[in-house]
Amino acid sequence: MQEDNYSAPAQDKLTLALVDVSIPASYENLTIFGTIIREYCAALPQLLQEALPASETAIPTNYSHLVYCVELVVQEAASNIIRHGYREEAGAGELRLQLSLDASEANLHALVILLEDSAPAFNPTLARIEPPNPLDPRESGYGLYLIQKLTDKLEYWREAGKNYLKMVKYLK
Amino acid sequence: MELEYKLAERAGTPLIYLSGRFDSEGAEYFKEQIASLVNAQRPNLVVNMSQVEFVDSLGLAVLVSALKLCRRYKGVMKLVGIQSAPRMLFEVTHLNKAFQIYDDEDSAFAS
């Protein structure tokens, strides 16, 4: 039995690639990522409205927290790469940041953050970080813990000598 | 914006105003300043963070170091007016239970 050919074809779900920027890996340059993220996130509500049918538009209720989380997890992951991956050597390599909007899951739009570097392999998703003890809080080691806690999905893979860290934040 | 640090005093207690970004660069400076206050026998501190827009893992770590330093000298460090987004970090890390956190200066000094 043939499908009804007269109805409008289902609109392809969207992946909007919006930011793709590479910087020489250094702490000073991280402020560039921060600025880009804030600017991109400021434009996001409008992009969502234009790109998606009204019924599917989902603008997070706590938008400033979302922007903060994105900036923070990028800063934490990128400084880890600079510190442990590139060992703070000037000119040791690059960091590439890609941001995209993924609407491939129904009613669950996601901001996808992809960090790429060419430092030695390190898989931050495998690090088991104990939750801090409020009675005797530790004096370091909050970075990976925050990355794990503030993202909805965290994936790592290595391909052609490069590390890829994908951090997903649902817009909810 | 880099971290700005301003030292004032209220009721004989050092009152520190921070503004800007509390991350790697500013955190080191803050740590040195707290150490010199504590070494000068002033382990009771109030830190007003209402103008701090960004705190990262290093900022948290340095605040914990400062807290422990004050405690070692039998002092107390109170945090005031943390903005809503950075405050979320204190909750996620349970550090809201380690610090004495107040909404405003008056309540910090009243307790």
In the stretch 29-48 of chain B, residues with CB closer than 8 A to chain A read none
Cβ contact, residue pair A27, B56, below 8 Å:
no
Whether chain A has a CB inside 8 Å of the CB on B66: the answer is: no
Cβ contact, residue pair A76, B24, below 8 Å:
no
Cα-to-chain-centroid distance, residue B107? 15
Supply the pTM of this predicted model.
Answer: 0.88
Q: How many residues does chain B have?
A: 111
Residues B43-84: pLDDT tens digits?
999 999 999 999 999 999 999 999 999 999 999 999 999 999
Interface of A with B (CB under 8 A): 27, 64-65, 68, 71-72, 75-76, 79, 131-135, 137-143, 145-146, 149-150
> What are the chain B neighbours of A139 within 8 Å (beta carbons)?
61, 64-65, 68
A16 has a pLDDT exceeding 90: no
- The pLDDT confidence band at residue A13, using thresholds 50, 70 and 90, is low
pLDDT of residue A107: 62
A1 has a pLDDT exceeding 60: no
Shortest Cα–Cα distance, B108 to chain A (Å): 20
Residues A104-144: pLDDT tens digits?
766 668 899 999 999 999 999 988 788 889 999 999 889 99
- Bigger pLDDT: A4 vs A147: A147
> What are the chain A neighbours of B67 within 8 Å (beta carbons)?
137
Percentage of residues in chain A having pLDDT higher than 70: 83
Shortest Cα–Cα distance, B33 to chain A (Å): 17
Among B105, B106, B100, B101, residue whose Cα is nearest residue B75: B100
- The pLDDT confidence band at residue A41, using thresholds 50, 70 and 90, is confident
Cβ contact, residue pair A137, B65, below 8 Å:
no
SS3 A21: strand
State how far the Cα of B24 lies from the Cα of A144, in Å rounded to an integer.
16
pLDDT of residue A105: 66
> What are the chain B neighbours of A72 within 8 Å (beta carbons)?
54, 56, 89
Cβ contact, residue pair A137, B95, below 8 Å:
yes
State how far the Cα of B103 lies from the Cα of B101, in Å rounded to an integer.
7
> What are the chain A neighbours of B95 within 8 Å (beta carbons)?
132, 134, 137
- The pLDDT confidence band at residue A10, using thresholds 50, 70 and 90, is very low
Percentage of residues in chain B having pLDDT higher than 90: 87
Cβ contact, residue pair B61, A131, below 8 Å:
no
State how far the Cα of B80 lies from the Cα of B33, in Å rounded to an integer.
18
State how far the Cα of B52 lies from the Cα of B45, in Å rounded to an integer.
17
